[in-house]
Amino acid sequence: MAGTLFLLLGDQLTESLEMFQCINKNTDAVLMAEVKQEATYVHHHKKKIVLLFSAMRHFARQLENSGIEVIYRTYDCADNQGSLQGEVMRQLKLRDWGRVVVTEPGEHRLLISMQQWSSMLGVAVEILPDTRFICSRQGFADWAEGRKQLRMEFFYREMRRQTGVLMEGTRPVGGKWNYDQQNREPMPANVAVPKPTIFQPDPVTKEVIALVKAHFPDHFGELERFGFAVTREQALTVLNTFIQERLPDFGRYQDAMREGDPWLFHSHLSFYLNCGLLTPREVVSQAEAAYHAGQVPLNSAEGFIRQVLGWREFVRGFYWYFMPDLASQNYFSAQRPLPEFFWTGHTNMNCLRQCIQDTRKHAYAHHIQRLMVIGNFSLLAELSPQAVQEWYLLVYADAYEWVELPNVASMILYADGGKLASKPYIASGSYINKMSDYCSNCGYSVAKKTGPSACPFNYLYWQFVARHADKLASNPRMQLIYNSFYRMDDSKRSAVEQSCAEFLQKLEKNDV
């Protein structure tokens, strides 16, 4: 009897997938392949490639130790076909496989390709649902159908009801669904932050690091001091350490930023959730258990659970519900190319310098750095949505299109015109000054509103408000902003306009 060839993608590294319930160890095999097409369609951060290739190789050993045949194709195999389809085709020529089974990928482009494989390869190809997520694609579509607005808060409440997480019968624990108001404190300078959980590269990871140095020298980011978890055991260590050391203070400081300290009290779990080494169910369960055990306050437990059970599940459903149109939307007709400092970090704006340099070093920045510093600037400077989307996809080790695109196109850039967010997330320099210590070491003054030494966020903010009044002034959540704008005298508006023109001209010339 011909066996089944199971193709396992590099971000699906968990035996909780449905496909592992179907494998016959006597006749079937799992194919895993490091291929050029997936590693280079955008120039992924070097550390992201090391994380995935090393995690894949470790997971392959885990499967082999459980008695499953694994056909593993390394990137530098002399006859590597360079694409997933090519590698599947090669196996079909080498052995008589009765069918091919794959779990649905996290990118629309790849799913469309796989849906053509059966006719192209001449063999049955079955695409299984990705059961790692708590809400299925159909479940999200059923929830979204007929709603005028898709808001994460209401989806999150429904997920809480369905799962019973932080619930007392039909009511939320503590009487409130959301404790976000308690989670916006700036971080005092004297607060000590636990060190991030890092791991020394083992021989497998060292091999991969050498491979990435040799084959991806022009990719973004630094490769030194690689310390990500690459096995499930290591990922569980990161989870357990977060619950014990960071989660108690995660809530109140989750929006804070501090110079030279990118990790703070955040979980650093998205790397492992998004590649499969951890599952959302176990992560949510541990956070909830820590609350019930009295180890963490409710605002921290709820705030973290909302990120996983609420936001993560929501954006995944949102992505599939609105693709492929989501990728090309551009509500504000933004066209400006990315400035050079997005790659180098060389800018006099210290907040951007810190966040981009953190990204270069670690393939990581936390959600407020991504949203309210880099993202806020991208929106106010009207950078091309497609260019910004590609940048976010390639620079972060936890970025896959299903999670990156809704966050960037819809949340950060408001490119969909409000399908996801109720208003654009824009802010002047005062917000960054409140939530960080970045402004004290900046080449600009956050106290100045216009002129060559003023914080660019200040005048970019008001110019954006002025330029898009036709699209935003009627938004109820923008009323206070426009009331202030309409009270602004002509001389102030003129100074804003002039400061913007001068700054954007320098930006386009890539002046520091």
Which pLDDT tens digit goes with each residue over 14-53? 999 999 999 999 999 999 999 999 999 999 999 999 999 9
pLDDT above 90 for 306:
yes
Topology of the domain comprising 137-322? 1.25.40
pLDDT digits (tens, 9 = 90+) for 476-503: 999 999 999 999 999 999 999 999 999 9
Percent of the chain residues past pLDDT 90, beyond the cut: 97
What is the mean predicted confidence (pLDDT) over 302-330? 97
pLDDT for the residue 185: 93
* Comma-separated ranges of CATH 1.10.579.10 domains in the chain: 341-508
pLDDT for the residue 142: 97
pLDDT above 90 for 1:
no
pLDDT for the residue 148: 86
What is the mean predicted confidence (pLDDT) over 89-118? 96
pLDDT digits (tens, 9 = 90+) for 334-370: 999 999 999 999 999 999 999 999 999 999 999 999 9
* Comma-separated ranges of CATH 3.40.50.620 domains in the chain: 3-128
pLDDT for the residue 396: 98
- Average pLDDT over all residues of the chain: 96
Q: Among 3.40.190.10, 2.60.120.10, 1.10.579.10, 3.30.830.10, what is the CATH number of 341-508?
A: 1.10.579.10
pLDDT digits (tens, 9 = 90+) for 176-200: 999 988 888 999 999 999 999 999 9
CB 299 within 8 A of CB 251: yes
Task: Centre a 10 Å sphere on the Cβ of residue 301 and count the other Cβ atoms it contains.
Answer: 29
Q: Which two tokens stand for residue 512?
A: 């520091």
pLDDT above 80 for 68:
yes
* Comma-separated ranges of CATH 1.25.40.80 domains in the chain: 137-322
For 221, which DSSP code? S
pTM value is: 0.96
pLDDT for the residue 210: 98
Residues 6+ apart with CB under 8 A from 491: none
For 175, which DSSP code? G
Buried b or exposed e, range 188-210, using 16+ CB within 10 angstroms: eeeeebeebbebebeebbebbbe
CATH class of 3-128: alpha beta
Contacts 24+ apart (CB under 8 A), 63-71: 63/15, 63/30, 66/15, 67/25, 68/23, 68/25, 68/28, 68/29, 68/30, 69/25, 69/28, 69/29, 69/30, 70/29, 70/30, 70/31, 70/32, 71/29, 71/30, 71/31, 71/32
The whole-angstrom separation of Cα 203 and Cα 208 is 9
Q: Which two tokens stand for residue 152?
A: 């994460």
